[in-house]
Amino acid sequence: MNIDNLIKKSLDVSLDTISKTIRSDSFSKNLSKASNCLIDTYNRKGKVMLAGNGGSAADAQHICAELVGRLNFDRAPLAAVALTTNTSNLTCIGNDYGYDEIFSRQLNAIAKSDDSLIVYTTSGNSKNIISLLKEAKNKVRHIIALTGNNTENIINYCDVIISVDSVSTTKIQELHAIAGHILCECVEKNIFEANE
């Protein structure tokens, strides 16, 4: 395929996916619910844990950095931990207990009752994410999932699901980046500008 045509086609699909998703009432409502969950966590002095696989691991780390560092303005850091980053933990747990336990065992070690968990799974079927959700269900205050169209295997474990109207991993991840920035913006403005 001609490169110019490929670029146009990809941009058109991205635009269509964004348009379909943001027109959905549930997408905006669930962004609001998730933002309030995170604000509640920080008001209770809890932390946010994040996890995902592959590109979704990068999304988890990205949003963790926005919380601990900053998004739009200088302010105090917010407590967040990406469960995807410690290679010694990941390889030890994977080797000794299996790949499905790489996140759940870490959560079991550090989770507190006022914490929140954010998971990314574009398929909605990631075994290690489902294992993590099961472990987290009675250990943390709020559980938020970012996913695509398939919510069947995670719906019973989450307080909020931010679902992208697509089955394409790349297009889902594009919307997850937008959603993550919006969540951080809502948290940052509410916690820090509300106190000025």
Terminal C-alpha separation, the chain: 55
Q: Which domains does the chain have, with CATH numbers?
A: 3-193 (3.40.50.10490)
User: Looking at this protein, which amino acid is placed at residue 196?
Assistant: E
Mark out the alpha helices in the chain (DSSP H runs): 3-22, 25-43, 55-68, 87-97, 104-110, 127-136, 169-188
Side-chain half-sphere CA neighbours of 99 within 13 A: 4
The 3-state DSSP class for residue 139 equals coil
The helix (H) or strand (E) run that includes residue 144 is: strand 142-147
**Measured distance CA(183)–CA(164) in Å, rounded:** 15
Beta strand 48-51 with 116-121: parallel, antiparallel or unpaired? parallel
pTM of the model as a whole: 0.94
pLDDT of res. 194: 61
Give residue-wise pLDDT tens across range 84-103.
999 999 999 999 999 999 99
pLDDT of res. 193: 84
**Measured distance CA(136)–CA(93) in Å, rounded:** 17
CB 185 within 8 A of CB 71: yes
Give residue-wise pLDDT tens across range 124-182.
999 999 999 999 999 999 999 999 999 999 999 999 999 998 999 999 999 999 999 99
Contact residues for 14 (Cβ-Cβ < 8 A; gap 6+): 171, 174
